[in-house]
Homo-oligomer: A and B are copies of this chain.
Amino acid sequence: MQLMKASWIEVEKYLQTSKAIVIPIGSVEQHGPNGLLGTDALCPEIIAHRAAEQADILVGPTFNVGCAQHHLGFAGTITLRPSTMIAAIQDWTTSLRRHGFERIYWLNGHGGNIPTINAAFSEVYAELSFANTPPVPGLQLKLQNWWQLAGVSELCNEIYPVGHGMHATASEVAVTYAGCPDAQKQVEMMPKIAPLGEISHAYAYRQSFPDGRIGSDPSQACVEDGQRIIEFAAKALIEEFSSFSAR
């Protein structure tokens, strides 16, 4: 069930059998010459929505803008400061707890979000830990990157043995092409495989990575690959979320 398309009565009913929810969380940032700016939000959203078609999983709204300061040298990128993102994750979590949710599973699509999401978890937990009595009920927050769901990165490397890369990867572009076939873009990559390097601020990033990609050749991406990855990842998510819910 997608929370955005559910009524409050339907969510209230869901809470009678489960206290767990999935929140897709991503970023709006350049993804090279043929990748979508929304890639990192779309990937976890597509996978989570696919999972929700096949199992009784509640998927919340997508937290779409994340930590992307290093991509600001490329048009269309939008970022939160980490301190803003922490405040927002706190508010989302406090809201969900108010309804009785005890387990929040953040399915992440952007490596650059990982530190700040974990810092936000600590900020939320700190409030509980400072208190003089244990939280009733408890709270469990989990971060999982979609590409680290069981077996997914193996599958991606199998599909793209060469040029899978680190940013604007072939696999993430494929997932978005499968989710939004009308958004496919044919662009020749030059060089074929993008350079590797280190990430700091946006000016340094653009110098190191002139077209935005890191180590990838996303021109390999196609709808069929994307569908295969989505199906695989959705199944892995169902399994992992089910054990998280039951913990």
Contact = CB atoms under 8 A, between A and B. Distances in A.
Given A5-B183, A82-B86, A128 B201 contact: yes
Interface in A7-29: 7-9, 11-12, 15, 28
A69 B185 CA distance: 41
Contact of A75 (B15, B122, B135): B15
A88 B88 contact: yes
Interface stretch (A94-102, A157-165, A219-227): A94-102
Contacts of A63: 65
**Most central of A86, A98, A100, A123 by chain B CB within 10 Å:** A98
A60 to B, nearest CB: 7
A61 B61 contact: no
A138 interface: yes
A87 to B, nearest CB: 4
Interface of A: 2-9, 11-12, 15, 28, 30-38, 41-42, 60-65, 67, 69-70, 72-84, 86-88, 90-92, 94-96, 98-100, 112, 114-120, 122-123, 125-126, 128-130, 132, 134-135, 138-141, 180, 182-183, 185, 187, 200-204, 212
